[in-house]
Amino acid sequence: MVLSSIKVLLTVMIVMTSAMLRNPNAAFGRIHVHIYNFLDLGPTLTVHCWSKNDDLGEQELPPKDSWEFSFKLDFFGRTRFDCTFKWNDEVHRFPIYVQMRDNWACLNCTWVIYQAGPCRQNTGSNDVCYHWHDKEETIS
């Protein structure tokens, strides 16, 4: 009985240590996502973001304006927030936060939205720009 309790305790400790090593700062804090409207010709950007557990509703961003939200990471590395971006007659989709992709990239994730697609700003290096994911795709 004591031996099995020790095994369970060691397993829990190993899993927790592994999660903290993946991103030690995020293990104890919140991730912040900032989204900026940098569309050419100044249209208002409508952003709607959601996860498996939360629907953040629609946000209207005038030109050069921003919106932010924050959350705690899933212990098992499955946190994901998808968003739709609408302006004029265009509607696009992009997973704005995927834990397996963004975990090491940012605790304060800043995204700039352009017509061509979203770009994540990286401190001390080049921004990373993506194409829109208008079709349902698997992203890791």
Q: Which pLDDT tens digit goes with each residue over 92-124? A: 999 999 999 998 888 899 999 999 999 999 877
Higher pLDDT, 1 or 91: 91
In a domain, 51, yes or no: yes
Residue span of the structural domain in which 119 resides: 28-129
Which pLDDT tens digit goes with each residue over 24-50?
A: 544 557 999 999 999 999 999 999 999
Domain total for the chain?
Answer: 1
CA atoms of 70 and 88, how far apart (whole Å): 28
In a domain, 8, yes or no: no
The whole-number pLDDT of residue 134 equals 84
In a domain, 134, yes or no: no
Sign of CA dihedral 116, 117, 120, 126: negative
Which pLDDT tens digit goes with each residue over 45-96?
A: 999 999 999 999 999 999 999 999 999 998 888 999 999 999 999 999 999 9
Q: Are 102 and 82 in contact (CB under 8 A)?
A: no
* pTM beyond 0.85: no
In a domain, 3, yes or no: no
